[in-house]
Every structure is written in C-alpha cells, then in structure tokens.
C-alpha cells in the first residue's frame, strides 16, 4: 500500500477571477470540444508551481516513492506524477475514470501527466497507481484534491441553420467524429518536447472566449466551449504550440480546417477554423513552426483560432497547458534528452 508521508494543503480562497466573454467578438458556435474559462487566480498559480507547498509525496513499501504536483487541481487542469524506485519497469495510474500511463524519464524514474475532466465535482479523489518492477507488481492509492471552479454561461441567439443541421450536415459530422477519433488514437509514449508550450498566435493574443463556458443557443443549453478562442484576422500565422507530429489535417463541418498535433505523453493540441493548411498528416513539426493560417471555416461568427488541448481522452484548458511548467529544473530536461 501507498502511505502518505506528507501533503501540504493550502487554503483556496473564494475569490475567483471572472473572465469576460467578449460580446461581438468572433467565436465558435459549437464543435466537438470548445470552451471558455473564467477561473483560476489561485489554481493557475498552483498549476504553475513545481516546488513548495503544492506537492504531494508518498512512498510505497519496498523503496518506491511517488510525487504529485500540484496537490490541488481544478477541472480542466493537469498535474504531474513522478515515480521513483529501483528496477521500475512500467507504471500507470487511473484518475476520475481515465487511464494515464507513465513513461521512462530516466533509469528508475517514471513520469506521467494526469488531467481533471471539466465536469468533475470538487472533493478528494483517489489516484490509483499500478507499478511493475522486474520482479513484482504493486498497487497504491493517494488522494488529490479537486478544487471548485466556476464556469460562466453565455447566451447566443443564432440562425436556426446553426442549431438544426440538415441530413447532409449530420453525415459530415459523423465523418468528422471518425477523423478526430483516428487523430487522437495514438499511444501516450514519451514527450516529443523538451520545453514549455507557447501560445499559437502570439504571447499577448487577445482572448475572445475562454475554456468551459456553457453555451446556450436560442434558449437551449447546447454545448460547452472546450477550447480557447484567440482573436485575429484571416491569414494570421498559426504556430505549433510545441514539438510534435501532425495527426490530422481535416476539413470539418463544425471545426472547419483543423490540424491536430500529438506531442507525446498523451498530449495533443488542435488548431481550428484555419483558412489554409501549412502541414500534412504524419509530418513532424517543431515548436513555433507554421501549421496554417487563421480563418473562419466551420461554424463560427468570424475569423479566430479555436485552440484546443487534450491529455489522453480528457479535454483540458489550453491556458492550463500554456501555464504548466513541465520542466521546473534543468536536470530533468537533460534526463529527457538523454532518454531519446
Ligand atoms: Zn472556440
């Protein structure tokens, strides 16, 4: 069994920054995954942290130890799990009903990332870990705290053609679902990246709509906005948020021209509504490389980039991905490069 040896808890204040939905700004009307988020003064702080109080450490019997940072996470956010011990061969954990495999960072050191689904209720949630050494298998469990996060609701009145797709449109939507599913079907593996993620438009790109916003169309709750809408004009260059492999370049009904990039370790980024593709499926891309041009293809009210992020099956807040410090110390970057 895992035994918790320390776990500092901070008090999360009630104060939450409310993000504004820019009225009249270009937005996505729907998509498999679109969102807006308010939120997170403290949580973002927490997600940024690597050391200090927001760390959960525990130890297995037989010399295996696990570290989780941060110890408090909000819906849409990610966390990092490190497992250390002699003879470690493989490990994975389950959290909120989703599996998250670990990869080998260095000999005797496995790492993985986990995510909190947008609909997850606050409270203490078990993280169930399984590890295999050369000679035996072990299981352990520790608790992570999911903090409350409020999502704003936005009300839109749109033409009926946007809310009631025709038969042909429905067929296209089914084809899109298949294309996305295939795009996301890839083993977690090791990260393809060795540094933090960047904003695909510009570091100071204006946000039209955040992650998690509940969208009410014509008085009916129809979707959540599961990404980040970044403002701009048609033709604005869109860059890969990190190193990776293009898994899909597809013309979707709702998403428009969309590029999906797999970054390894279960992480994906998506670039929606492009006017032009600059990459092809299967192509390797470097962080900052052009993947396409901003546009207004798909179901949108005007040109913008819908930027999405996923960890395994869980859609996460792109802002949480951008603010997460994947490499809090240089030694770990060196370790990662050495393992490639
Ligand atoms: Zn969007």
According to the model, what pLDDT value does residue 162 have?
60
List the CATH number of the domain containing 262: 2.70.70.10
pLDDT higher than 60, residue 16:
no
Who wins on pLDDT, 337 or 25?
A: 25
Ligand 1 centre to CA of 87 (Å) is: 45
CA distance 142 to 132: 17
List the CATH number of the domain containing 109: 2.60.40.1930
**Pair (175, 105) in one structural domain:** no
According to the model, what pLDDT value does residue 45 have?
38
Q: Kindly list the distances between the CA atom of residue 170 and the CA atoms of 10, 102, 141, 144, 217, in Å, as whole numbers in the listed order.
A: 48, 38, 43, 40, 18
**Pair (143, 236) in one structural domain:** no
Ligand 1 centre to CA of 209 (Å) is: 7
Ligand 1 centre to CA of 29 (Å) is: 7
**Pair (179, 317) in one structural domain:** yes
In a domain, 340, yes or no: no
Ligand 1 centre to CA of 27 (Å) is: 6
According to the model, what pLDDT value does residue 31 have?
36
**Pair (98, 240) in one structural domain:** no
According to the model, what pLDDT value does residue 61 have?
55
Mean pLDDT to the nearest integer, 22-42: 42
Residue 193: exposure state from Cβ atoms within 10 A (0-12, 13-18, ≥19):
buried
Reported confidence tier of residue 149, pLDDT bands at 50, 70, 90: very high
**Pair (123, 163) in one structural domain:** no
Ligand 1 centre to CA of 35 (Å) is: 6
Who wins on pLDDT, 232 or 33?
A: 232
In a domain, 337, yes or no: no
Under a CB-based contact definition with an 8 Å cutoff, are residues 81 and 58 in contact?
no
**Pair (167, 289) in one structural domain:** yes
In a domain, 328, yes or no: no
Ligand 1 centre to CA of 315 (Å) is: 13
In a domain, 287, yes or no: yes
Ligand 1 centre to CA of 125 (Å) is: 30
**Pair (119, 214) in one structural domain:** no
Ligand 1 centre to CA of 56 (Å) is: 34
Among 149, 167, 195, the domain-final residue is 149
**Pair (169, 288) in one structural domain:** yes
Q: How many CA atoms lie within 13 A of 208 on its CB side?
A: 24
According to the model, what pLDDT value does residue 329 have?
62
Ligand 1 centre to CA of 95 (Å) is: 27
Among 128, 149, 170, the domain-final residue is 149
pLDDT higher than 90, residue 93:
yes
According to the model, what pLDDT value does residue 327 have?
86
Ligand 1 centre to CA of 142 (Å) is: 35
**Pair (115, 162) in one structural domain:** no
Give the tens place of pLDDT for each residue, 44-86: 433 443 333 366 777 665 678 899 999 899 999 999 999 999 8
Ligand 1 centre to CA of 88 (Å) is: 41
Ligand 1 centre to CA of 185 (Å) is: 22
Q: Kindly list the distances between the CA atom of residue 90 and the CA atoms of 132, 133, 135, 264, 335, in Å, as whole numbers in the listed order.
A: 5, 7, 12, 17, 17
Give the tens place of pLDDT for each residue, 154-207: 887 766 656 677 888 889 999 999 999 999 999 999 999 999 999 999 999 999
According to the model, what pLDDT value does residue 159 have?
67
Range of the domain at 128: 41-149
In a domain, 2, yes or no: no
Among 91, 121, 149, the domain-final residue is 149
Mean pLDDT of the chain: 82
Give the tens place of pLDDT for each residue, 224-251: 899 999 999 999 999 999 999 999 999 9
The label of the residue with tokens 């597809």 reads 250
In a domain, 19, yes or no: no
According to the model, what pLDDT value does residue 51 have?
33
Instruction: For the chain, give the percent of residues with pLDDT over 70.
Output: 77
**Pair (69, 178) in one structural domain:** no
Ligand 1 centre to CA of 12 (Å) is: 29
Ligand 1 centre to CA of 208 (Å) is: 8
Ligand 1 centre to CA of 249 (Å) is: 18
CA distance 335 to 340: 9
According to the model, what pLDDT value does residue 154 have?
83
Ligand 1 centre to CA of 222 (Å) is: 14
In a domain, 204, yes or no: yes
Ligand 1 centre to CA of 305 (Å) is: 7
Reported confidence tier of residue 273, pLDDT bands at 50, 70, 90: very high
**Pair (51, 76) in one structural domain:** yes
Ligand 1 centre to CA of 298 (Å) is: 11
* Structural domain count, the chain: 2
According to the model, what pLDDT value does residue 18 have?
28
According to the model, what pLDDT value does residue 5 have?
31
In a domain, 315, yes or no: yes
Ligand 1 centre to CA of 299 (Å) is: 10
Who wins on pLDDT, 14 or 123?
A: 123
Ligand 1 centre to CA of 301 (Å) is: 10
Give the tens place of pLDDT for each residue, 305-321: 999 999 999 999 999 99
Retrieve residue 39's tokens: 């939120």
CA distance 149 to 145: 12
Reported confidence tier of residue 135, pLDDT bands at 50, 70, 90: confident
Model-level pTM greater than 0.85? no
Under a CB-based contact definition with an 8 Å cutoff, are residues 268 and 181 in contact?
no
pLDDT higher than 90, residue 266:
yes
**Pair (186, 297) in one structural domain:** yes
Q: Kindly list the distances between the CA atom of residue 215 and the CA atoms of 154, 173, 177, in Å, as whole numbers in the listed order.
A: 5, 19, 20
């Amino acid at each position: 069994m895992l035994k918790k040896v320390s776990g500092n808890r901070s008090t999360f204040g009630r104060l939450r920054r409310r993000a504004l939905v820019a009225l009249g700004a270009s937005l996505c009307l729907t998509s498999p995954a679109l969102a807006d988020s308010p939120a997170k003064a403290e949580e973002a702080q927490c997600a940024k942290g690597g050391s200090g109080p927001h760390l959960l450490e525990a130890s297995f019997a037989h010399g295996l130890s696990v570290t989780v940072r941060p110890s408090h996470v909000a819906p849409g956010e990610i966390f990092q799990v490190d497992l250390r011990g002699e003879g470690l061969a493989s490990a994975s954990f389950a959290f909120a009903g989703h599996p998250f495999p670990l990869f080998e960072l260095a000999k005797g050191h496995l790492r993985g990332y986990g995510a909190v689904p947008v609909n997850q209720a606050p409270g203490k949630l078990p993280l169930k870990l399984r590890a295999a050494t050369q000679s035996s298998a072990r299981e352990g469990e520790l608790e992570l705290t999911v903090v409350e996060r409020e999502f704003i609701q936005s009300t839109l009145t749109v033409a009926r053609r946007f809310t009631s797709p025709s038969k042909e449109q429905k067929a296209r939507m089914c084809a899109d679902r298949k294309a996305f599913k295939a795009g996301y079907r890839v083993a977690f593996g090791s990260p393809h990246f060795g540094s933090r993620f960047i904003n695909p438009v510009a570091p100071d790109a204006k946000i039209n709509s955040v992650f998690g916003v509940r969208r009410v169309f014509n008085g009916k709750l129809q979707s959540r906005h599961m990404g980040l809408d970044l403002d701009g004009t048609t033709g604005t260059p869109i860059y890969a948020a990190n190193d990776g492999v293009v898994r899909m370049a597809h013309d979707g009904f709702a998403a428009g021209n969309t590029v999906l990039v797999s970054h390894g370790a279960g992480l994906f980024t998506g670039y929606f509504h492009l006017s032009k593709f600059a990459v092809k499926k299967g192509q390797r891309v470097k962080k900052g490389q052009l993947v396409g041009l901003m546009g207004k293809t798909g179901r949108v009210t005007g040109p913008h980039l819908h930027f999405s992020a996923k960890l395994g099956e869980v859609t996460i807040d792109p802002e949480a991905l951008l603010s997460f410090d994947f490499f809090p110390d240089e030694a770990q970057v060196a370790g990662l490069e050495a393992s490639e």
